Amino acid sequence: MSLASLIERHAPTLAAAAEANRTRTFFAHWPEPPSGKIYGETASADGEAAFKAQLNTPFTRLLQGATPDAVGEEQSPYGFDLGITYPYTDVDTLVLRANHAKLTWATLTPLERASILVEALERASKHFFEIGFATQHTTGQGFVMAFQASGPHAFDRALEAVSVALEAQTSSTDAVTWTKPMGKISVTIEKSYVIRPKGINLVIGCSTFPVWNTVPGMFAGLATGNPVIVKSHPGATYPIAIVIAEVQRALADVGVDPHVIQLAADTVGAPIGLDLVRHHEVRIIDYTGGPVFGATVEREALPLGKTVYTEKAGVNCVVVESVKDANAAFDNIAFALSLYSGQMCTAPQNIFVPATGVKVADGTVLAPADVARLLAERIDALVHNEKAGPGTLGAIQNERTADRVGEALDLGFEIIRPSAFVQQPGFDQARSISPLVLWAPVDRADVYEREWFGPVAFMVVTESFDDAVERVAASVRAHGALTTLVYTTDERKQDAAAEALVDAGAPVAFNFDSFVWVNQSAAFSDYHGAGANPAGNATFADIQFVTGRYNVIGIRKQA
């Protein structure tokens, strides 16, 4: 297929994405329901069959040089080993191949690159169901969430990054005849502007969202002309490997070296992430994961002048002062706490309630004890729902996350809602537990201002609404946050809270009580991550997310 035909084929998609980025209204290129009516009546069965066929065999779909070595240590949180191996490539070879591949990739126009990448996404979307099963059994997400998060939602984020990159690179002319009047004479200079990619873009993936958190940086790097190396998490390689393989094939089909994008697989015992971070040819780094290693990446890379985009972790908080409908509000909070067992960088952890209680629109006031009881009831109603509960909770990706529940119990805090094992139908060995909610004394900020990644939450009673907002703002400044959620029907208090929390550098949501949850971030509309607090400096996908990956260099010729 020629580049011209790809440009023509995908022009409507790129135009629609650009318009959505400008207007911020709802737009989804790929439908989110895992429906046979949308994706084909046999799509789910075919995807499951592909998943099962891949188990206990080498992953051979990648178009990157053969290697005698293979690695693989993925284990399903639902209780079995995947047994898949991936080609192992040393750092120097990865870099050598990337540098060779960039020679042609960087010479393509931004539109040509964008069109190839949209083609790659369309091809990879044919594997949404296999990607869903692969995500479920590497991360522990329930299948529907795994399908959506690693499929349509992730691909929309990738398209968003491509669209923003294309807009940024084409926002001004690439050549001009410049004439300066100088009295009776004038001077004319022919000027042109060259976009020069910065170099190899390393993307370090995480274990809980191996596609959603990887593709924004991956596609932003590619769209701006850089070769990309994806260092996947050893526990969650399969889902992103499928995507990378399809991108490589799309590149090869138009005569581009597929090593423009490479998978770097390693093991927990022999990691190569830091070696890649330190390599002098790696000039851009995208990192998603825990704050400890994230700080190491920054400490190693920033003094070397590398561009670093991070999404680490923070402490997300909820303030509840007044609500229109108590059951609806706490249903929303309960779901946000329970979704994927709190293993989301956007999941709430701390719930602040004024000592005077929570006012309800019907005139009743819920004392803090009543609020705690209501929250526990709403969590129970979800968890014990045989149809919705297990899939919403999913399984715990890492044993250390499950162990954190025991650490929280050792604090000796009063229990609002105990955690318990949850049966996952068809998977008796699944590592699945329901949320633990504890009372936390207001003076124990040393505990609740620490991130307790996983199914652990704290309720804290404060003097007042203003006191709660001040504490959340201080927590954001000190520890970061990806989300904040505030319930108040008082518009003056909404304005004050918005000012305080935005000033602290965190996005804020108000009065969510329907079928949108604070955990969620919509491509083309929500900027994921403010980039303005210690939780990370990246925003999916604002203009800075792409412009830091290239430079514009001028050429002037005397006419």
Q: What is the DSSP string of 516-530?
A: --TT---TTTS-B--
Report the CATH number at residue 332: 3.40.309.10
CA-based nearest residue to 155, from 31, 286, 20, 15:
31
Q: Mean pLDDT, to the nearest integer, of 129-139?
A: 98
Cβ neighbours of 464 (radius 10 Å) = 12
277 plus 329 within the same structural domain: no
Q: What is the pTM of this model?
A: 0.96
Pair (226, 366) in one structural domain: no
Q: Which domain holds residue 220?
A: 3-14+62-173+198-313+541-552
Is 531 part of any domain?
A: no
Specify the pLDDT at position 475: 98
Residues 141 and 261 in one domain: yes
- The number of folded domains in the chain is 2
> What confidence tens digit (pLDDT) does each residue in 41-91 have?
999 999 999 999 999 999 999 999 878 899 999 999 999 999 999 999 999
**C-alpha span between 353 and 370 (Å, rounded):** 11
- CA 421, 33, 127: angle at the middle one, nearest 5? 90
DSSP assignment, residue 304?
Answer: G
Q: What CATH number corresponds to the domain at position 223? A: 3.40.605.10
| Per-residue pLDDT, 412 | 96
Cβ-based burial of 419 (10 A; exposed 0-12, middle 13-18, buried ≥19)? buried
One domain, residues 442 and 400? yes
322 closest CA partner among 166, 474, 486, 532: 486
Report pLDDT digits (tens) over 382-410: 999 999 999 999 999 999 999 999 999 99
Do 112 and 261 share a domain, yes or no? yes
Q: Does residue 439 fall inside a structural domain?
A: yes
Residue 352 lies in a domain: yes
DSSP string, 29-44: SS--S--HHHH-TTHH
User: Quick check: is 47 in a domain?
Assistant: no
Examine residue 51 and state whether it is found in any structural domain, yes or no: no
Residue 524 inside a domain? The answer is no
Q: Is residue 520 part of a domain?
A: no
Does one domain contain both 306 and 378?
no
How does DSSP assign 332-364, residue by residue?
HHHHHHHGGGG-STT---EEEEETT-EEETTS-
21 is a domain residue: no
